[in-house]
Amino acid sequence: MLSAVLITKNEEHNIKNCVDHLIEWVDEIVVYDSFSNDRTISLLEEYGSPKIKVRQVEWQGFARTKNMAVEAAEGDWILSVDADEIITAELRDEILQLAGKAEHAGYLIPRLLFFCGRPVRYGGSYPDYQLRLFRKDAGRFEETPVHEYVKLSDSPGRLKNHMLHYSYRTMFDYWARLNRYTELDAEKKFKQGKRFRFYRVFVLQLEIVKRLFFRLGILDGFPGIFYHIFSAVSSLVKYAKLWEYQQTKNT
């Protein structure tokens, strides 16, 4: 049995496209929603399908909320999908072909990012492997403040076909999320004992050159070029916030 698990919070712009690519072939879709105040829940109810099991819970952080959904799933295999991701027909078929003959306890899935509606294939952004398919008894999300990942009891295999990731619909959306994630990342690094070093200011500026030219990010065109520049700048913002975090904690 295969269970797709999602966590949601105000995903009315994404949820239907995501579920449309799951509902016909997975055995159940477990959604843990952190009290969305948009149309997320009503859109899920419109399906009228017993496959979709929705539970509303207080936000516990990315990893813990996902683990709650995994625990609630009835399937022996878990497919973890974010609301802004789509499982392609090719990836669906590849997953279904694993039934009864999987050689690994989990599988890394390549992911293709779309930025402002355009695919980003260069600059080191693809294939962006994510461990999203795993046996329920073999994996759980590691509980970190940001960039949660599945910790697997065995080495994973790799699938060939990718999922699509519509993470940033607009540039305004990117910068709004950047502010949130860089704060969480700076806090995480501080708790891990990491500290700001001035040389990183120069190293991170070289990241733009590496992404655009050495990793051919310039071939992504616009707005892909903007994405690569923004990504390099976001690393600098993260370390700037770490520096500020240090100053605040040391006073």
Same domain, 116 and 25: yes
Query: Same domain, yes or no, for 196 and 116?
Result: no
Say whether both 70 and 185 belong to one domain: no
**Model pLDDT, residue 6:** 98
pLDDT tens digits, 97-134 = 998 899 999 999 999 999 999 999 999 999 999 999 99
Q: What is the pLDDT of residues 155-168, one digit of tens each?
A: 999 999 999 999 88
Check whether residue 158 and residue 177 sit in a common domain.
no
Instruction: State the pLDDT at residue 234.
Output: 83
> How many residues belong to the chain?
251
**Which pLDDT does position 161 carry in this prediction?**
98
Give the pLDDT confidence score for residue 198 in this predicted structure: 72
pLDDT digits (tens, 9 = 90+) for 192-221: 778 777 766 777 778 889 999 999 999 999
The residue among 48 and 182 whose pLDDT is bigger is 48
Cβ atoms within 10 Å, residue 248: 9
Provide the pLDDT for residue 238: 82
Could you tell me if 133 and 237 lie in one domain?
Answer: no
Q: Which residue among 167, 193, 224 closes a domain?
A: 167
Q: What is the pLDDT of residues 2-47, one digit of tens each?
A: 999 999 999 999 999 999 999 999 999 999 999 999 999 999 999 9
Asked if residue 181 and residue 122 are part of one domain, the reply reads no
- What distances in angstroms separate CA 78 from CA 37, 51, 97, 103, 136, one per listed residue? 27, 14, 15, 15, 6
* Residue where one domain finishes, among candidates 143, 167, 191: 167
pLDDT at 251: 56
Interval 42-91: pLDDT, tens: 999 999 999 999 999 999 999 999 999 999 999 999 999 999 999 999 99
Strand, coil or helix: what is 91? helix
Average pLDDT for residues 185-196, to the nearest whole number? Answer: 79
| Residue 31 vs residue 180, higher pLDDT | 31
Rounded Cα distance, 213 and 180, in Å: 29
CATH number (domain holding residue 27): 3.90.550.10
Same domain, 163 and 176: no
Measured at the CA of 159, the angle between CA 157 and CA 165, to 5 degrees, comes to: 120
Q: Please say which residue of 104, 134, 167 terminates a domain.
A: 167
Question: Can you read off the two tokens belonging to residue 21?
Answer: 């690519």
Are the CB atoms for 86 and 18 separated by under 8 Å? yes
Q: Are residues 145 and 77 in the same domain?
A: yes
Q: Which residue has the higher pLDDT, 170 or 107?
A: 107
Residues 132 and 180 in one domain: no
Q: How far apart are CA 48 and CA 178, in angstroms?
A: 36
Residues 221 and 131 in one domain: no
82 and 181 in a single domain? The answer is no
The confidence band for 233, taking pLDDT boundaries of 50, 70 and 90, is confident
Total structural domains within the chain: 2
* Structural domain of 230: 170-249
Instruction: Indicate the pLDDT class of residue 244, thresholds 50, 70 and 90.
Output: confident
> Please, which pLDDT band fits residue 249 given cuts at 50, 70 and 90?
low
The pLDDT confidence band at residue 250, using thresholds 50, 70 and 90, is low
Average pLDDT over residues 227-238: 86
Same domain (yes/no): 6, 82: yes
